[in-house]
C-alpha cells in the first residue's frame, strides 16, 4: 500500500492553531521552493507535530484540490455531533489508511494521484485515482463509519508508541499501521478500554516483543481483571521480572 515516489508539486501544511493550508510549490520562487523542500526533508526526523503534512500531486487546479480537501474536514463524529477531522495529519492518516476500505481510500484521495507524507522516519506515498468526486456524494463515501471512529481516534496512542520505537526498516514500518490497528482493536474487543497511556504502553510491548508478549501467560491471565476494572495495566506490567523481559528479548530475535 505504501511505496516511495518522487517529490510532487503541492504541499499541505498545518500549524496547531490554524486550518490546513495548501501551497502550490510551482508558483513559488526558487528561494521559497528550497526553503519548503528543506522543511519537508526535516519532517522525517522531526520530534514535533508535523508542519508540512504532505506533498500532493494532482492534475486538478489548486482551487479544486483545496475544495476537495475541505469537504472532508468537518462531518458527524462518533457521537453524531460535528467533528473536525485532521485526516491530513500523518499521525492520523496512517491509521485511517489501515481502517478504511478500498473505496473509502480512493474517495478520500479523489483528484490526488500521489499523496506523500513523513512517518516513522521515512517518506511514504499513497497512490490515488486522480479523479474528482461528484459533489452530490457529500463527505460520506470517504468519512469514517461509526465503527471506524474508535480505531482512527487511537492515533495519539499510536504516536506515543512510535516515539518510543527505534529506527526501523521501511518494510517493517510499512506494516506498522495495520499492526497497531490490530493490537488496539484486539484490546478493545477484550473489553479492556485502557486509557491512552496504558494502551500505548501495552501496544509498544506488543510491537517490541511480538506474539511472545501478547500470548504471555501474565498478559492472558490479566485480561478478565482488566476488563472488569479490577486491575490496572501498571499492575500487570509490575508482574514481569527482568528475567521475563530477557526471555522476551531472546524470543523476539
Average the pLDDT over each of 85-94, 125-134, 168-177, 241-250 and give the range with the smallest value.
125-134
Residue 110 Cα distances to 60, 91, 113, 146, 244, angstroms: 10, 20, 8, 22, 49
Q: Is the pLDDT of residue 82 over 50?
A: yes
Confidence at 98, pLDDT banded by 50, 70, 90: very high
pTM, 2 dp = 0.84
Region 141-170: mean pLDDT is 91
Distance CA 131, CA 108 (A): 11
Which band of pLDDT confidence, cut at 50, 70 and 90, is reported for residue 235?
Answer: very high
Rg (CA), the chain: 20
Residues 6+ apart with CB under 8 A from 200: 156, 157, 158, 160, 161
Amino acid at each position: 500500500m505504501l511505496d516511495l515516489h518522487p517529490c510532487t508539486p503541492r504541499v499541505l501544511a498545518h500549524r496547531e492553531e490554524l486550518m490546513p493550508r495548501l501551497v502550490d510549490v510551482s508558483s513559488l520562487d526558487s528561494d521559497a521552493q528550497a526553503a519548503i523542500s528543506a522543511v519537508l526533508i526535516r519532517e522525517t526526523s522531526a520530534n514535533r507535530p508535523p508542519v508540512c503534512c504532505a506533498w500532493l500531486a494532482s492534475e486538478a487546479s489548486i482551487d479544486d484540490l483545496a475544495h476537495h480537501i475541505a469537504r472532508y474536514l468537518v462531518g458527524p463524529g462518533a457521537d453524531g455531533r460535528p467533528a473536525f477531522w485532521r485526516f491530513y495529519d500523518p499521525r492520523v492518516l496512517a491509521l485511517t489508511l489501515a481502517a478504511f476500505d478500498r473505496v473509502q481510500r480512493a474517495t478520500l484521495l479523489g483528484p490526488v494521484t500521489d499523496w506523500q507524507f513523513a512517518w516513522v522516519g521515512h517518506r511514504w506515498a499513497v497512490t490515488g485515482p486522480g479523479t474528482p468526486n461528484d459533489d452530490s456524494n457529500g463527505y460520506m463515501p470517504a468519512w469514517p463509519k461509526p465503527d471506524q471512529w474508535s480505531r482512527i481516534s487511537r492515533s495519539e496512542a499510536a504516536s506515543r508508541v512510535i516515539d518510543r520505537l527505534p529506527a526501523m526498516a521501511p518494510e517493517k514500518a510499512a506494516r506498522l499501521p495495520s499492526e497497531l490497528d490490530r493490537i488496539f482493536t484486539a484490546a478493545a474487543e477484550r473489553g479492556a478500554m485502557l486509557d491512552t497511556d496504558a494502551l500505548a504502553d501495552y501496544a509498544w510491548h506488543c510491537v517490541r516483543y511480538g506474539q511472545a508478549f501478547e500470548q504471555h501467560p501474565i498478559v492472558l491471565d490479566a485480561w478478565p481483571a482488566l476488563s472488569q476494572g479490577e486491575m490496572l495495566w501498571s499492575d500487570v506490567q509490575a508482574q514481569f521480572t527482568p528475567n521475563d523481559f530477557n526471555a522476551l528479548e531472546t524470543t523476539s530475535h
